[in-house]
Amino acid sequence: MANTAGKLYLVPTPIGNLGDISERAIETLEAVDLIACEDTRHTGNLLKKLELKKKLISYHDFNERSRAAQLVACLEAGESVAVVTDAGSPGISDPAYRVVRFAIDHGFEIVPLPGPCAIIPAVTASGLPTDRFFFEGFLPNKGGKRRTRLSQLADIPHTIVFYESPHRTVKALTDMRDILGNRLACVAREISKVHEQFMRGTLDDILSQLTTRNVKGEIVIVVAGADYRGNEKSDDDRTD
């Protein structure tokens, strides 16, 4: 690789299937001086599978502010730093924003690598419009705040994408049905893993499948936008 000194790399890691990691990502992880990760044990296991040995430092939601300054100090010392999360692209509902902002403010180069991210396969396989979509990420944990936020999203015309934890999935879908209406949706579970599953239909259809068993795995919920009318063309596609 070219000179990596003083650069911050954002390196996506597999969301399930190890085969999804790119050759460039492996080369970058091998080349950098330090890897900042959410869970050193998790990333350590990944590096072991890749037959790499690197210095690791924890970087997560609870220490992000203090660690950002520390990582920039490493860049100032001429070291190269890679930021990874437990799965997917750093900064997408995972830590990375603060260290990226801090590094930019101090004049350092940011090198983002393309790679695994659960949003895109969930949207493309959902059967809902993909030309425009709104990524909401995680809804609030508490029911009242979650319903308030859904009310604010109700008029968005485009496909809406959510991340959700398995133990809140049924509650979130129920709130969506009650507030957004019985829209078409898709719940993507365990994308790229052995038990990958896509549940499609109305929110009621999906709820009827989920309320009879415990939801497990990583969840992405894709919901039709307010203007979606089945196979009809969107307003932008229609001619007068």
**Closest CA relative to residue 188, chosen from 178, 180, 196:** 196
- Given a cut of 50, whether residue 239 has pLDDT beyond it is no
DSSP 145-164: HHHHHHHHHTT--SEEEEEE
pLDDT at 1: 63
- Given a cut of 90, whether residue 3 has pLDDT beyond it is no
pTM (predicted TM-score):
0.89
Q: Which residue has the tokens 């949207």?
A: 123
Task: Compute the distance between CA of residue 229 and CA of residue 68 in angstroms, rounded to an integer.
Answer: 45
**Can you list the alpha helix ranges (DSSP code H) found in the chain?**
23-31, 40-49, 64-76, 97-105, 119-126, 143-153, 169-180, 203-210
- Given a cut of 60, whether residue 240 has pLDDT beyond it is no
**Can you list the alpha helix ranges (DSSP code H) found in 77-202?**
97-105, 119-126, 143-153, 169-180
- Tally of CA atoms within 13 A in the half-sphere of 126 that contains its CB: 32
- Given a cut of 70, whether residue 236 has pLDDT beyond it is no
149-185 tens-digit pLDDT:
999 999 999 999 999 999 999 999 999 999 999 999 9
Counting DSSP H helices and E strands in the chain, the numbers are: 8, 10
181-230 tens-digit pLDDT:
999 999 999 999 999 999 999 999 999 998 766 788 899 999 999 999 77
Take residue 43 and report the two structure tokens written for it.
């990333």
Task: Compute the distance between CA of residue 195 and CA of residue 139 in angstroms, rounded to an integer.
Answer: 25
Task: Compute the distance between CA of residue 8 and CA of residue 35 in angstroms, rounded to an integer.
Answer: 10
CATH class, domain 7-112, is: alpha beta
104-163 tens-digit pLDDT:
999 999 999 999 999 999 999 999 999 999 999 999 999 999 999 999 999 999 999 999
Take residue 49 and report the two structure tokens written for it.
């599978």
40-73 tens-digit pLDDT:
999 999 999 999 999 999 998 888 888 999 999 9
- Phi, psi at residue 142, to the nearest 5°? -80, 140
The amino acid present at 39, given as its one-letter code, is D
26-47 tens-digit pLDDT:
999 999 999 999 999 999 999 9
Q: Is 134 helix (H, G, I), strand (E, B) or coil?
A: strand
The CATH code that applies to domain 119-223 is 3.30.950.10
Q: In what order do the strands lie in the sheet with 219-223?
A: 133-138, 159-164, 219-223, 184-189, 197-202
Stretch(es) of the chain classified as CATH 3.40.1010.10: 7-112
Stretch(es) of the chain classified as CATH 3.30.950.10: 119-223
Residue 118 CA, distance from chain mean position:
6
- Given a cut of 80, whether residue 234 has pLDDT beyond it is no
The amino acid present at 239, given as its one-letter code, is T
